Structure 1
């Protein structure tokens, strides 16, 4: 068993495929490649939706359609904003943080503590016989290949040291080659530099509270102040702050009269205000005129330093490959 653990931990990476069920009854099918330190990419299938997955050290991004976000409780306007964009989500969004809890190095270390084990009858996995060995919450399937036993499947039948949202997990495992992992790193670096720079945040909702004050306002300008609120999508996660861009679009008699942009920082859970001055001209012709302001919100998941950090983590792991 200990030799099999070393094999799991020391390979350049592992391919995980199988099923995850959370305590709330959600079921996901997993098809992921993970480097030994936990950089992960692949797909998670929820129902009929195949969702691309990108994870680096507890930072997890997915790209899902609008229907997925609506099912997760997002209102239409916000679900549309997240649709088909890389969106940052809590690391255990699918019941377990693959980049941390299932990183092969860490996962292997926790599979067996040297205590008593139960050995079951041989079963066939991928055309080879595998022997189930139960240790604590884990059942590990070992297949004797050449002189080194190989772990082919891991089953977690109860909560162990993982996230409390996890109910059961069954994963078939196969080792990745160095060339495969290097190619994975190259693809993920490209995505990081070209796509994560505009990733949305699915960890927090920012909403207009409905409170807007317009004062003072006159023939040529108006000061608009609006109140915003931010709420984490999962009470278990802690978010220090969120950067929000507020666009105020003014029109007079239905004709665009200017745009004002304001960037503010809100607490991860709390409220704040955004203020902008719109400039326009209302004709002094004695007739009645109407003017309006449209408020649009946008908030992103990452700044440039965070993107560079992700890319650097991947580069460091690439250098460490042997």
Structure 2
């Protein structure tokens, strides 16, 4: 996926259709001069419906169309004929899309399954025709209901990436390089911070034709939970990952301190993130000999399994995939 085509936030204006008018009609035939009321009901207005599509990975297809308006319902007619329902508008979204009210920011619903359909705005009901209002004291009512107005408003769509494994680390920790080696993804790689500005996804092939999805997400900095750096736009993507792979380079000044900063930022954003399965990968470890590894092991954080890897020399990558697969299938 081209980085510029990844869109994870969009605002749209949606309007459902108005219900059709009920008909005011009196039955007439050649030998029936004064028939009773037979005005039909109006059709309902079209809905605005969001539908999950597993083949979409981004909201880029909504970037250049901001307004969606459903069709109005048709008016009722004679012989109790109901008006045509307004055509519904379907908006396809990737799995993991959260829909918020554009003004209150309240979450309305989420789309997480392929083919899942949820009505964002219901179309207005059609008005009742005059035959509904016939009674013993009013046998020829000359009135009917108008259709109910549709609804409209601004809505915010946010994508939270659905992946099995999310890469967590500071900028320039080697996350993009690992993804490019383990998968066919082509993230931007360079030797400076914030190379990755948009999430990238790749499919990791494992033993016996098994696979899982890995996400390279822009790096955390201290204060990300308060919005520093890429802040919340990064952190929300981690919420959907089953397992978190923490990556800290072997040449870090203090691996334990970096890990605790990363953990603290996740906790401040959403404490439930700490309940996910976690694994610590010490990247760029091809520069270490056994003596240095032994020294580093003494300083590693407690309570999390670790592995030494190198994406360039592919050291430890098979064992890494084995450990991740085991965590995903516990």
The two structures have a TM-score, normalised by structure 2, of 0.23
Larger Rg: 2
Higher strand share: 1
